Amino acid sequence: MDKIVERFKRYIAIDTKSDENSKTCPSTPGQSELGALLVEELREIGLSDVRQDENGYVYATLKSNIDKKVPTIGFIAHLDTSPDLDGKCTNPQIIKYEGGDIKLNDQYTMTVKEFPFLNELIGEELMLTDGTTLLGADDKAGIAEIIDAMEYLIQNPDVKHGDIKIGFTPDEEIGRGADLFDVEGFDADFAYTLDGGPLGELEYENFNAASVKIEIQGKNVHPGTAKNIMMNSLLIAMEIEGMLPRNEKPEYTEGYEGFYLLNEITGNVDHSVMNYIIRDHFMDKFEEKKNHIKNVVDFLNNKYGNIITIEIKDSYYNMKEKIEPHMEIVELAKESMMELGIEPIISPIRGGTDGARLSYMGLPCPNIFTGGYNYHGRYEFIPLESMKKASQLIVKILENNAKKEVY
């Protein structure tokens, strides 16, 4: 356990927060720094074909130790952390959780009232932040778990496995993780992302996703002489938001319910910019949402005189369509969990992973838990035992894959 924890702590101390305004790949230098560190570690423990390409992607191979051909499995995690908060965690806390609220610092406390699932973790060792940064379990826990599993296999050659491919991607948090992924060179029959949440999560459905940028060009004059002249772009922005369904916001939805999220708004009387994300598991409802926000803009352009522009870009689609023809991949992970005493929790992802895009690029890629909770914020934490269980699951999947008939 200590080794995987120390490895994880090294990774989270490097700031790899991605930047959606950057035009480079990776979008921030810390991701290249972490990638270079991982290349050294992967070589040291004995993997082959280890490389970091010019775009920051890290690839490696662990060769088969059996004399028959079985499917080649890939394991993928991402280098970056969310831009939502400082991503350099140099002061993580480890506690034995005995119940009750957890004080992160004098300003922030994680309460059982807000996070009732804490009651299910009494007796566990938890790694938390000091309340000032992300922890980085999303997705450096996935990286640590994959490398820990590879080291175990190398040190225990009696555990049989086929060819294994490793991939670490930049900029997943800003939707670019699969953009330049070398699927052909990766050369896996299928893969798993380790980018899920609590112990047992196994996911092969995710949102269809789009980003929306709305620009409003208002008209500003002195407020003392503004009657019948001024068009306040901020008020028009409020009008747009008010015309979207109130109950279709993230804070009011769950399960398969989609939403509109006003993610950012900037501006003044003269000019405003609104950035939305649209999500839905079902393609027909996804298209309805995109059409609705376009219709709102059309209506207000008719009202105010073509002062609003809208740009909608699809980000990724529900991987279910590409996974369902290969459900044996999901069954392999599910059966392996059950053999380890892990109860599989199969549910739709209310988000996306690199696996969604990669599945549409020809690499079927369900998502597996890392063990973490409360991603993208200062309340992020991970039970240490869940990290070890994720590493053990990787090994068990590979063991069970090796038992297959000749491929």
Q: How wide is the angle at C-alpha 188 spanned by C-alphas 182 and 194, nearest 5°?
A: 85
CB-CB contact of 148 with 7 (8 Å):
yes
Q: Between the CA of residue 93 and those of 101, 105, 131, 384, what are the distances in Å?
A: 15, 11, 10, 12
From the candidates 139, 148, 163, 172, which is the catalytic residue?
A: 172
Alpha-carbon gap, residue 62 to 7, rounded angstroms: 19
Whose CA is closest to 60, among 189, 188, 252, 249? 188
Q: Is 80 a catalytic residue?
A: yes
CB-CB contact of 260 with 276 (8 Å):
yes
Whose CA is closest to 233, among 285, 203, 202, 274? 274
From the candidates 80, 148, 205, 280, which is the catalytic residue?
A: 80
Q: Is 138 a catalytic residue?
A: no
CB-CB contact of 278 with 286 (8 Å):
yes
The alpha helices in 18-76, defined as continuous H runs, are: 29-45
Q: What are phi and psi of 399, to 5 degrees?
A: -60, -50
Q: What is the DSSP string of 264-312?
A: EEEE-SSEEEEEEEEEESSHHHHHHHHHHHHHHHHHHHHHHTS-EEEEE
Helix (H/G/I), strand (E/B), else coil: 17: strand
Q: How far is CA 161 from the centre of its chain?
A: 28
Catalogue the active-site residues: 80, 172
